[in-house]
Structure 1
């Protein structure tokens, strides 16, 4: 009966044209009950918290469910127009390797490739143990489960030690586990044993490999004979070898083979397809030196982090707006409504948000619900700021366009306020979670640009004042009850003008510098960056 009800709910989700894999999983997971009528998710959580063998098993089951949800989310991101049934077919088609009690269809005359655990209790005349690389075997990265049961075990064993000390103890235990695993692997051989590793750039032999060579051969890995891997039997590898030979004594032969391959229609053999062969289309600056360079307040900050990233993104090297970006725009619009329309209350804004949520996040399920809850919390924090602010509101979403030397600063301020002395103060609402430091806000170029706009008369259509009393970033996404803000005091306008003019000059140039910074990890244009491994082909 329970299974039938569960399948009925699942079928109802599948019938929805916009249903995704995670929606189907949630419908099943949220409605799965045990024979006692308790929610399966609740029962697993309670068992996991009790510990013991059953607790560890429940912990692993919860981990597996988390992985399944993450797989469904990744599938939806890769194939946004696919439905829940497509995800089911994808999972059904996967082959998941696992230990079995009895071998099925094992031939005695073939090479077996298996894990160390699967090899326990068996022996072969010849065994090859590969991958004794530093960081791979031994793998000393901390294993972490959903509820962190392994850390609780170490704390129970060793008392109330500091987290760093517990991590050292855990690493020692992991090393011994990895050593025992290696012992199992190397003792599977009756007659011959091959142990291999790679020594190339960042890949180095592990301490286990060094211990084996020292114990058996009385040598270090550096004293052993090294063998170069043969070229892969692929077209790109062949072309790469031939291109390398173009600078050697066999250059003529290599060139003739490349030409023959190109004439035969092999695209990668055509020199015009090789990166770096084509001449630069132009060496002229991207902006006419006699004209002003358009610059937005936010782009000034981005340009100083990495000029290359700014240029590539400006030229189309970005994905479409993410849900977070769309949500940010929506929160700004709702914040503007509070000033633009009379009688707007928090409940009305929340209702408007819920009614338009499908436009912000078209997906359904627990992930979307969590994002909506965060958005509602942002509206609540905005209302707190709106009620408590002391300055009068001049306007919201006000555009400005001012020219400072070579720079034409164009932008929009979220909110312009005026204090009792008649000076203007700019507010910029942020939906990100982590505020910048108090030191960084002093040099924040976005806020400096806003203050320059005030002094240059960028808001004269709304207020006569050209005196700035400062600017602030107000963080609506910061997960605390108190409103987090970072204020920038009135700045030295002359120095700020010079700084912005210099940035504009560089933005209009013909060359842009790539710089390493904290955003490199999630940079969308890494594959074109000459200082990153992913973009190495740009210069090689």
Structure 2
């Protein structure tokens, strides 16, 4: 959500605040199912085995919406690969499990004003140095580049939340961030393992933390002022709100 509002405040407002969210796309089906399975495996509710997990998938698959019958079958084949990758990653993972789908919140000071960080983490783990590593499972068909991972705002926010005490209670002690990582499960190829893309720990005075705090300050200013200007860019190509956008459309129903 932070990234969305920084890319285009108007698009963020139309989608998040004005009720413009469209129906769940079929690509979201795979992600929602994978996250549910990962949580149940982490908590011991389901075994870390492909066939029992696929039985859970097939039990709900006919209730999910797909554009075409062939895409339903294609996505089922893709989720089988994703489940196998998750099982292998889970079994090979040396870190200690702390929590799954866990809500967190922390109040931070940004330019002398309080900002509440709140969200959910797919998985929390403790590394061999006692630090918290936040894992974010991804089901996209392709993975971002290395520079995109290094600058990933979602991972940076997870790290900032950990460093400002959001998970101290869950861990039972003050903890610091050991970094965060994307675990790519849905890549559309024949790879057997998950692609893990780590973001190293951020220093409090480092450039990554400064960039994040600058973005938080900008987002907080927009929300407090209730002003959401339209910003043009590559994201406009897929924007469903072009017709009412003050920068690209007629602009007759909005005021920038």
Structure 2 residue 28 is the aligned partner of structure 1 residue 325: yes
The Cα RMSD (Å) is 2.2
* Separation in structure 2 between the aligned mates of residue 501 and residue 371 of structure 1, nearest angstrom: 40
Structure number with larger C-alpha Rg: 1
* Separation in structure 1 between the aligned mates of residue 95 and residue 54 of structure 2, nearest angstrom: 25
Q: Residue 69 of structure 2 aligns with which residue? A: 365
* Separation in structure 1 between the aligned mates of residue 252 and residue 168 of structure 2, nearest angstrom: 51
Q: Residue 44 of structure 2 aligns with which residue? A: 341
Maintained 8 Å contact 2:182/2:198: yes
527 and 497 in structure 1: CA distance in 2 versus 1, 3 angstrom threshold: same
Work out the number of aligned pairs and report it.
Answer: 241
Deviation at 1:498, TM superposition (A): 4.8
Gaps of 5+ in 2: none
Out of 342, 360, 376, the residue aligned to residue 80 of structure 2 is 376
Deviation at 1:386, TM superposition (A): 1.0
Deviation at 1:536, TM superposition (A): 4.7
Structure 2 residue 54 is the aligned partner of structure 1 residue 350: yes
* Separation in structure 1 between the aligned mates of residue 78 and residue 235 of structure 2, nearest angstrom: 24
Larger RCO (CA within 8 A; separation ≥ 6):
2
Deviation at 1:364, TM superposition (A): 7.1
Q: Residue 123 of structure 2 aligns with which residue? A: 415
* Separation in structure 1 between the aligned mates of residue 58 and residue 213 of structure 2, nearest angstrom: 43
Maintained 8 Å contact 1:417/1:425: yes
* Separation in structure 2 between the aligned mates of residue 356 and residue 404 of structure 1, nearest angstrom: 41
The secondary structure found in structure 1 opposite 2:169 is coil
Bigger strand fraction: 2
Q: Residue 97 of structure 2 aligns with which residue? A: 393
506 and 537 in structure 1: CA distance in 2 versus 1, 3 angstrom threshold: closer
Out of 435, 457, 460, the residue aligned to residue 168 of structure 2 is 460
Deviation at 1:486, TM superposition (A): 2.1
Moved over 6 A (4+): none
* Separation in structure 2 between the aligned mates of residue 466 and residue 513 of structure 1, nearest angstrom: 38
* Separation in structure 2 between the aligned mates of residue 321 and residue 367 of structure 1, nearest angstrom: 15
Q: Residue 197 of structure 2 aligns with which residue? A: 486
Spell out the pairing of 1:211-226 with structure 2 (5 A cutoff): none
Q: Residue 504 of structure 1 aligns with which residue? A: 220
* Separation in structure 2 between the aligned mates of residue 431 and residue 450 of structure 1, nearest angstrom: 19
Maintained 8 Å contact 2:125/2:133: yes
The C-alpha deviation readout for 1:376-433, integer Å capped at 9, x for no partner, is: 2211111121122221111111110111133211110000111111011001011112
Out of 438, 442, 454, the residue aligned to residue 150 of structure 2 is 442
Q: Residue 15 of structure 2 aligns with which residue? A: 313
* Separation in structure 2 between the aligned mates of residue 400 and residue 368 of structure 1, nearest angstrom: 35
Deviation at 1:329, TM superposition (A): 1.5
Maintained 8 Å contact 2:107/2:115: yes
Maintained 8 Å contact 2:163/2:175: yes
417 and 319 in structure 1: CA distance in 2 versus 1, 3 angstrom threshold: same
* Separation in structure 1 between the aligned mates of residue 250 and residue 184 of structure 2, nearest angstrom: 34
Structure 2 residue 237 is the aligned partner of structure 1 residue 521: yes
358 and 539 in structure 1: CA distance in 2 versus 1, 3 angstrom threshold: closer
Query: What's the TM-score once normalised by structure 2's chain length?
Result: 0.86
Q: Residue 477 of structure 1 aligns with which residue? A: 186
Bigger mean CA offset, 491-500 vs 402-411:
491-500
* Separation in structure 1 between the aligned mates of residue 224 and residue 145 of structure 2, nearest angstrom: 30
Spell out the pairing of 1:30-429 with structure 2 (5 A cutoff): 299-314=1-16, 315-341=18-44, 344=47, 345-361=49-65, 365-405=69-109, 406-429=114-137
The C-alpha deviation readout for 1:7-49, integer Å capped at 9, x for no partner, is: xxxxxxxxxxxxxxxxxxxxxxxxxxxxxxxxxxxxxxxxxxx
Gaps of 5+ in 1: 1-298
Maintained 8 Å contact 1:423/1:465: no
360 and 508 in structure 1: CA distance in 2 versus 1, 3 angstrom threshold: farther
